[in-house]
Structure 1
Amino acid sequence: MSGLSASVPEFPEWPQFGDEERAGLVRALEQGQWWRVGGSEVDTFEAEFGAYHGTPHALAVTNGTHALEVALEVLGVGPGTEVIVPAFTFISSSLAAQRLGAVAVPVDVDLDTYCIQPEAVAAAITDRTRVIMPVHMAGQMADMDALDKIAADAGVAILQDAAHAHGAQWQGKRVGELGSVAAFSFQNGKLMTAGEGGAVLFPDQELYERAFLVHSCGRPRTDRDYLHRTTGSNYRMNEFSAAVLRAQLSRLDSQIELREQRWPLLASLLAQIPGVVPQGRDDRGDRNPHYMAMFRVPGIGEQRRRVVVDELIARGIPAFVAFRAIYRCEGFWLAGAPDETVDQVAARCPNVEQIHADCIWLHHRTLLGTEEQMHQIAAVLADVLGE
């Protein structure tokens, strides 16, 4: 396949920006107040982002990790409690609970969708469990029907880690319409970005008001006497980030539509390559924004996978190794870890043991490319794997 060794034509850049972001930054600059208490950009972004996802209760914060921390705190997570998290995820999912003094309990994921496995969640419930945290991996929503039932039966809350799921839907319902708290990230690589940033969606006003206090050092919105009502920290988003995110939100729909067109084509092409298994899709997740284009090469091994990823990058394809299992990260065990060994956790997470060692993902900007580029990606991958 020597004719396929050339680089793929350049994909669209990320982040994307235009006159909308420029106008927003100038608007925020000229209003004369650059923090949320005196400005209007954050308030307006919250209203727009919440409406887009089906709830009037949205809170903008400094980043996605802080979004999880704020959400967990208002859901009562702290010392003596446990939070069930997928073992295959970016480590912020567990660290947010651990930073609050809770124990993060990693469980297995589905081998097809890479989302948290409901039966593993059910087996991990104890009387200390306070929250179940599904991660909508790469935009594929977790099985919210099964998880809602498990949570209701156990009397615990759900916190959706929706860092990959801007604009996603589950059986026609938007993330904010599912009756649980959801946390988003606007880090530089995410589907919407201001470099950093986050947001939390709430199903009711009471939780939102509690979260507002937590994210603003315990201080009410109209306080002039420094009457801090609760603990918390400064998680407030600034006006410039909010202005950029308002512009980013305005183009999200068209980008999702294009990625939804490209992924079925790319997935079908990848599936034709011997040994390649694309991430599956649960069709109840009837709108997938495709934060990543993920696939497995079972049996490849971590060393060979790194060589393949490096070669894909060299040929113009933005490729990455998948997340490491959180229990195989040293930082996971420094605070708030379960009373188990690495091997014990690994034994009950057999799917994660496979996925974290053989999965590769491509940046979502690849799915903003042309149909021809989808064919080129598959051809280059086939060539690289055949070397």
Structure 2
Amino acid sequence: MTKTALAIHGGEKAVKTTFPWPIYDEQDVQAVADLVRSGQWGNPDCAGAVADFEQQFARYCGSKYAISCVNGSVSLRLALIACGVRPGDEVIVPPYTFIATASVVLEVNCVPVFVDIQPDTYNLDPTAIEAAITERTKVIIPVHFAGLPCDMDAILDIARRHNLRVIEDAAHAHGGEYRGRKLGSIGDAGSFSFQSSKNLTSGEGGMVITSDDDLYRTMNSMRNVGRLPGGQWYDHFNPGCNYRITQLQAVLLSEQLKRLDEQTRIRNENGLYLDSLLADVAGITPLSRVGEELIHPYHLYIFRYDKAKFGQVSKQEFVAMLAAEGLPCSAGYPHPLYKQPVFQQKNWLCYALPDTVDYKNVSCPVAEYACTDEAVWIFQQAMLGSRSDMDAFADAIRKVQHALIK
């Protein structure tokens, strides 16, 4: 086989398709325009289009309640407070995720406890959770990272035995399923983000779902400045803020929700197909889909990279070569969360962290290796491409490998 010049060196790109996001049509535009013309832009009573979307989303997820809010960080915050955490309590989180999963724990004056991830899924490792539990532990936050379902049976078993709450961080997992249940609906509460990159988006926004009546009452009140049903406009029964979304966001999300099942089907099927294409590429290992009873919405398609099979080229150089070939991809996080300055420096805003907590001594080897050497992400919009696009993705990886092998 003749070596072909890499695109980074002036050769022709292997991937010629572009993948726009978000996807919308005239129905989305018309729905928003109608709302604009109505003049009902705000959401003072959590009613109208907002209430309609909450009901739609709750039905979609198979939960009793859905409470919309300004973003996925706030939805986690609402869930944590409603679950009864107190200052100094410990919350178990993975180190390989967006900062909000851990930073909201600091915001509610609790202590994030980082537990390593599984090497084959990049999700919270159930076998490591139990050793991290202390008398101060109150909540576990498993993150369905990239949309790949966590081992919820194992996590829930641990939580029940230790009387802990489980809040699913499903920011990547709209439409995903684990053993016939929608992700986010399995634990005590489930948190979603509608930020611009997410599989279901209105640019910003969030949602927390639950089937627990008490959690719902508390979260619903907190997101609406502490009001309660039946109270007057100026009656505030609980601490809370205006965390409401707008009617504009709600109508757009209602339209976008109509596409989610079909988009999830396409991403899931393309992910399985791409797995099969990469199975024989030395040094490339897609993350494991544990069990067949799941639907993976592929907010990210992630594979593990072994530079020994690519001429010892670093992950960062490899990703730059793939990106030049036209593949929408990234090297992912540069380091685990506990390496962030907020945890390493523990400034005065982290006043709830006891002196005994020292994140400089934390080590999660699997997460660290994923960050520095191994994890490569392909973005969700690319997973909406055709079968021939998936062929082109695999061809791009083979092309780079062939160019690097002496």
> Structures share a fold, TM > 0.5?
yes
Tell me the TM-score normalized by structure 2: 0.89
| Partner residue of 2:317 out of 292, 307, 323 | 307
Task: Please say if residues 278 and 295 of structure 1, whose CA atoms lie closer than 8 Å, have aligned partners that are also in contact.
Answer: yes
How far apart are 1:314 and its partner, in Å? 2.4
Corresponding position of 2:384 = 368
1:157 to 135, 146, 165: 165
Aligned-partner residue type, residue 352 of structure 1: A
Q: Write the deviation string for residues 113-150 of structure 1: whole angstroms up to 9, x where unpaired.
A: 11101121111111111100000011111111111111
Question: Which residue of structure 2 aligns with residue 204 of structure 1?
Answer: 212
Amino acid at match of 2:33: V
Q: 1:62, 1:236 within 8 Å by CA — same for their partners in 2?
A: yes
Q: Give the deviation of 1:310 after TM superposition.
A: 2.4
**Equivalences for residues 334-349 of structure 1 within 5 A:** 334=346, 335=350, 339-342=356-359, 344-346=361-363, 349=364
* Structure 1 residues 179 and 276, CA gap change in structure 2 (3 angstroms): closer
The residue matched to 2:256 in structure 1 has which SS? Answer: helix
Q: Does 1:321 align with 2:331?
A: yes
On the 8 A contact 1:50/1:176 being kept in 2, the answer is no
Most deviating of 365-374 and 182-191: 365-374
- Between 1:301-310 and 1:221-230, the stretch displaced more is 301-310
Counterparts of 1:114-153 in structure 2, within 5 Å, are 114-153=122-161
| Counterpart residue number, 2:106 | 98
Quote the residue 1:234 is aligned against. Answer: 242
1:167 pairs with 2:189 = no
Percentage of pairs with the same residue: 34
What CA distance in whole angstroms lies between the structure 1 residues aligned with 2:281 and 2:292?
27
Deviation at 1:41, TM superposition (A): 1.1
Q: Mean alpha-carbon deviation: is it higher for 373-382 or for 47-56?
A: 373-382
CA deviations 1:35-68 (Å, max 9, x no partner) are 2235511101100011000013000111111111
Asked whether the 8 Å contact 2:89–2:136 carries over to 1, the reply is yes
Q: 1:269 to 1:342 in 2, by over 3 A?
A: farther
Distance 2:319 2:248 in 1: 35
Query: Which position in structure 1 is the counterpart of 2:290?
Result: 282
1:9 match? 16
Amino acid at match of 2:32: L
For the residue of structure 2 that corresponds to 1:84, the secondary structure is: strand
Bigger Rg, structure 1 or 2 = 2
Contact 1:168 1:285 (C-alpha < 8 Å) held by counterparts: no
Distance 1:285 1:163, change over 3 A: farther
Shift of residue 109, structure 1, vs aligned partner:
0.8
Q: Secondary structure at the match of 1:33?
A: coil
Counterpart of 1:41 in structure 2 is 49
Where in structure 2 are there 5+ consecutive unaligned residues?
A: none
Q: Does 1:268 align with 2:282?
A: no
In structure 2, do the counterparts of structure 1 residues 372 and 211 end up closer, same or farther at CA, with 3 Å as the change threshold? same
> What is the aligned-residue RMSD (CA, Å)?
2.1
Q: CA offsets, 1:263-322, max 9 Å, x none?
A: 112122223222111111112551111111101113579992222222322222111122
Given candidates 247, 254, 259, the residue that maps to 2:267 is: 259
Q: Deviations over 1:311-349 (max 9, x none)?
A: 322222111122231112112343366845456321xx2
Q: Deviations over 1:79-133 (max 9, x none)?
A: 1111100111111110111111110001011111111011211111111111000
Query: Normalization by structure 1: what TM-score?
Result: 0.93
Deviates more, 1:48-57 or 1:176-185: 176-185
Q: Describe the shift of the 1:261–1:305 C-alpha distance in structure 2 as closer, same or farther (beyond 3 A).
A: same
Letter in 1 for 2:367: V
Partner of 1:384: 400
Write the distance in 2 (CA, Å) between the matches of 1:337 and 1:372. 51
Q: Do the aligned residues in 1 keep the contact of 2:224 with 2:243 (CA within 8 Å)? A: yes
CA distance in 2, matches of 1:285, 1:101: 38
- Cα distance in 1 for residues equivalent to 2:357 and 2:75: 28
| Maintained 8 Å contact 1:62/1:235 | yes
Matched letter for residue 230 of structure 1: N
| Unaligned 5+ runs, structure 1 | none
Q: 1:331 aligns with which of 332, 342, 351?
A: 342
Give the C-alpha shift of residue 155 in structure 1.
0.5
Match of 1:29 among 23, 30, 36: 36
